[in-house]
Structure 1
Amino acid sequence: MQPHILLKQQPAAASLALTLLLLANNINTTAAFLEPVSLSLGIAGSVAAFGYLANHIFHLNTEGCRADWISFNRSGLEADLERKLFGQHIATRIIVKAVSGFMNNNNPKKPLVLSLHGWTGTGKNFVSQLIADNIYKEGMDSKFVHIFTAELHFPHANQIDSYKSQLQQWIRGNVTDCPKSMFIFDEMDKMHPGLIDSIKPFLDYYDKLDGVSYRKAIFIFLSNAGGEGIIQTTLDFWRSGRDREEIELKDLETTLSLAVFNNKQSGLWHTNLIDKNLVDFFVPFLPLEYKHVILCTKAEMTAKGLMPDQDVADKVARDLVYFPKSERVFSVKGCKTIESKLDYYL
């Protein structure tokens, strides 16, 4: 998780590089015609100019906490969610409004905190990626996007106090470097209870803590917790013959927040983040049906530069496991295994 620097050649940088080359050639060409004093002054001035231009090129090509590297693209986010995320009308609506409202506010009162919930393969990680892609020029590769996973970064229960301290230091240091940092916590349902409470002050309505403002940061929690309640509600709508697009956030929000708060495996079990209302949105991701798996498969084919093929998409979709067993309505793994299965059929 160490920060890294990415260098890419830009048109402006190429022009400056040519200027440097001409400048160096000019020094060699004119040296023979100048007196020693004039030559020394000329070389000193050229070296100073060379250093300035070199620093400028480095500045242009090094990712920084600046508008040319961090700039929100609302239309891009809307288009990505519309074209690439399937079966998630509630999540799409919430994400666009929440992220747009936050990023267009020059003086937010607190960081944006999103908690994404749902069954595996329904798009939680993917949505996090789309958000990053439309804020940071380098997307998920940006040094201002930080990802934590329970099993990798916090594996030992007996080291929880150490993890809390390290997590606080990491967030404090990175927000100090760039106020518009993003922190993604994956596998929240595997987090040790109480770990996330250690960063509660960073998510609260404080102007500054020890001289650091966290108000422009984004925190995203990803969890399977609450998935059963989301599935049951979606299944109830299906059994009653109602369209899934009729499901509204109000049908899920209360049940979801209570399930997460009371579930010891949620990572947010009895956390102050919930009872202090510091989570701005609980975002439900609905289980995916056969028709959504078809769409995922075709989208993956397009991403691979192939023409979408209905026959291949059907073969991939039929190869997945669905539940409940008697009705086979929802994909057990959503669209999570589509890429590997598509490679098999291709």
Structure 2
Amino acid sequence: MRLLREPGAVLGLALVALVQLGPEAQAVEPISVGLALAGAAASALTGLISYPRLYCYFAECCLQRPGARAGAALEEHLDKKLFGQHLVKRVLVKAVTGFLNNANPKKPLTLSLHGWTGTGKNFVSKIVAESIYEGGLNSKYVHQFVSTLHFPHRQNITQYKDQLQSWIRGNVTACARSIFIFDEMDKMHAGLIDSIKPFLDYYEELDGVSYRKAIFIFLSNAGAEKITEVTLDFWRRGKRREDLELRDLEVALSVSVFNNKNSGFWHSSLIDRNLIDYFVPFLPLEYKHVKMCIRVELESRGYVVDEEIVARVADEMTYFPKVERIYSDKGCKTVYTKLDFYYDL
């Protein structure tokens, strides 16, 4: 886990600060920031930094890929690596591409991903990050928070609120296109996430900082029961899974999450004020989707796909409901460790 950066660390010292700022530093004279450089060295440094494209060959830049390229990369990776989630693909590609192509968005893009463990929420957030920044989750412009790690103690909630606001303010100041990922929202203390509500609202600036180009992604198991209920009802009525539309789930999902006392979104102003742009449902995975995950994992390890082993591993998974046994209760999460049993790695 990459350490969270305090806002003061964004600027650094002297030459380090100038290099970290990259293209944004082109208007800054080296002497004005206290760099005691010889005239020729200062001139060379200023010349290099004056060319953003050249600079970006040597260091990571804020918004490394333009919207169209990021959208194309996102769509390609989702098509190849994500199974059984037609709604996720449809919503995310349009939402992320459209947002990045908008030079003047009215508010940050805010996505809330919901579903059972193993259905792909963390995997998708990783793909979104990689489609925008080559470093993905390791990029200095992508910031990941895990509730049980970063906000473990309820009695410290006031301190967490201050820290969270400070972290977001500092990182957006450094890069307007920062990405913030909040994992385990179902384990976050109620009321904490409301501290970032001003950053998600329709403000042009707050204390001289605009948050409109940032992306916020929330991951949660909350609402998974409602998603399964709707999906199973669809199946029992003889309808195709792929015919499920976002409108069949989004309203019921948002209400379920808002009223869930075991969720960081319980009675949250983010939902009450309609600041979350999309509630994205991850459907429970069927037997055929588990087999797809197994095949892709085998290929990624360099093995020829053996359908007998694919079937064995898929059969070892447990499925629900008890009678129909349609959906994997762990999605694809344990596929990777189960494959270790069949191969010497």
TM-score by length of 2: 0.84
**Change in CA separation of 1:271 and 1:46 when aligned onto 2, cut-off 3 Å:** closer
Q: Deviations over 1:291-342 (max 9, x none)?
A: 0000001111122222222111111111111111222110010001111111
Residue 46 of structure 1 and its aligned partner are, at CA, apart by 7.6
Q: Which moved more, 1:45-54 or 1:327-336?
A: 45-54
Q: What is the distance in 2 between the residues matched to 1:120 and 1:46?
A: 58
Alignment partner, residue 13 of structure 1: none
Q: Which amino acid aligns with 1:139?
A: G
Partner residue in 1 for 2:66? 71
| Structure number with bigger Rg | 1
Residues in 2 aligned to 1:213 and 1:81: alpha-carbon distance in whole angstroms: 30
Contact 1:192 1:267 in 2 (8 A): yes
**Quick one: which amino acid aligns to residue 119 of structure 2?**
T
Change (3 A) 1:179 1:52: closer
Q: Report how far residue 60 of structure 1 moved.
A: 4.2
Aligned to 1:159: 156
Pick aligned residue for 2:133 from 133, 136, 146:
136
| Unaligned segments of structure 2, at least 5 residues | 11-37
1:200: how far off? 0.0
Check 1:319–1:71 CA distance in 2 against 1; reply closer, same or farther (3 A cut).
same
User: Could you say if the C-alpha distance between residues 246 and 167 of structure 1 is closer, same or farther in structure 2, counting changes exceeding 3 Å?
Assistant: same
Aligned to 1:38: none
Q: Deviation string for 1:239-297 (max 9, x for gaps)?
A: 22221112111111111010010011121111111111100000001000000000001
Taking only the aligned residue pairs, the percentage that are identical comes to 59
CA distance 1:243–1:60, change in 2 (3 Å): closer
Q: Assess if the C-alpha contact under 8 Å between 2:185 and 2:263 holds in 1.
A: yes
**1:317 corresponds to which of 314, 317, 323:** 314
Q: Decide whether aligned partners of structure 1 residues 64 and 262 sit closer, same or farther in structure 2, where only a CA change above 3 A counts.
A: same
Equivalent-residue separation in structure 1 for 2:336 and 2:60 (angstroms) = 31
Q: Which aligned pairs between 1:251-270 and structure 2 lie closer than 5 A?
A: 251-270=248-267
Equivalent residues, number: 306
Partner in structure 1 of residue 278 of structure 2: 281
**Alignment RMSD (CA, Å):** 2.2
2:280 is paired with a residue of what secondary structure? Answer: strand
Q: Which amino acid aligns with 1:86?
A: F
In structure 2, the partner of 1:105 is: 102
Segment of structure 1 superposing worse, 265-274 or 103-112: 265-274
Deviations 1:174-205 (A, max 9, x none): 00000000000000000000011000000000
- Which stretch shifts more, 217-226 or 239-248? 239-248
Q: Does 1:218 align with 2:215?
A: yes
Q: Does the residue aligned with 1:192 lie in a helix, a strand or coil?
A: coil
1:1-346 superposed matches below 5 A: 1-2=3-4, 60-65=57-62, 69-72=64-67, 73-346=70-343
Give the Cα–Cα distance (whole angstroms) in 1 for the partners of residues 43 and 194 of structure 2: 52
Q: Which runs of 5+ in 1 are unaligned?
A: 6-43
